[in-house]
């Protein structure tokens, strides 16, 4: 498993890059991310082998980039297919069985071992971000 917090490195796979470059995130999702007023990490656990990941992850990353919110940190973990035979996958305290999983965590983390238990406040599994659910207030 590779863990990273640089968007350009995350979208190095040609399919992800092409979709990231072409994606126009939904305005309401970008605005909901922009409105987050406390430090948060958007944790993305995905596989390059997974069609849902190739569809959803570029959307998530592009929306976070477009939101340009200094309160948001991205932390992504790409999971090789051969590691999925022993589920669940653990990224810090986050337990994942389906891909992609996007979790919103209180606090900003650059490494999975920094994430404390109980940091997760919201999770999207095999689905794009939803603006209504992102409104945490």
Confidence at 119, pLDDT banded by 50, 70, 90? very high
Write the DSSP symbol of residue 76.
Answer: E
User: Is the confidence at residue 118, as pLDDT, over 80?
Assistant: yes
Give the pLDDT confidence of 10-43 residue by residue, as tens digits.
Answer: 777 787 888 889 989 999 999 999 999 999 999 9
Q: H or E element: which one contains 32?
A: helix 27-34
Give the pLDDT confidence of 64-90 residue by residue, as tens digits.
Answer: 999 999 999 999 999 999 999 889 999
pLDDT at 63: 96
Confidence at 127, pLDDT banded by 50, 70, 90? very high
* Domains by residue range for the chain, with CATH: 2-134 (3.40.30)
Residue 81: both structure tokens together: 């297919």
Using CA atoms, how far apart are residues 75 and 28, in angstroms rounded to an integer?
A: 22
């Amino acid at each position: 498993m590779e863990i990273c917090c640089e968007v350009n490195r995350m979208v190095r796979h040609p399919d992800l890059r092409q979709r990231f470059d072409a994606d126009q995130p939904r305005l309401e999702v970008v605005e909901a991310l922009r409105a987050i007023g406390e430090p948060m990490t958007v944790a993305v656990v995905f596989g390059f082998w997974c069609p849902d990941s190739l569809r959803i992850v570029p959307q998530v990353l592009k929306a976070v980039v477009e939101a340009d919110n200094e309160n948001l940190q991205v932390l992504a973990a790409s999971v090789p297919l051969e590691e999925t035979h022993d589920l669940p996958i653990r990224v810090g305290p986050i337990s994942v069985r389906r891909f992609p999983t996007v979790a919103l965590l209180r606090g900003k983390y650059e490494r999975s071992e920094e994430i404390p238990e109980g940091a997760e406040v919201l999770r999207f599994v095999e689905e794009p971000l939803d603006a209504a659910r992102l409104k945490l207030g």
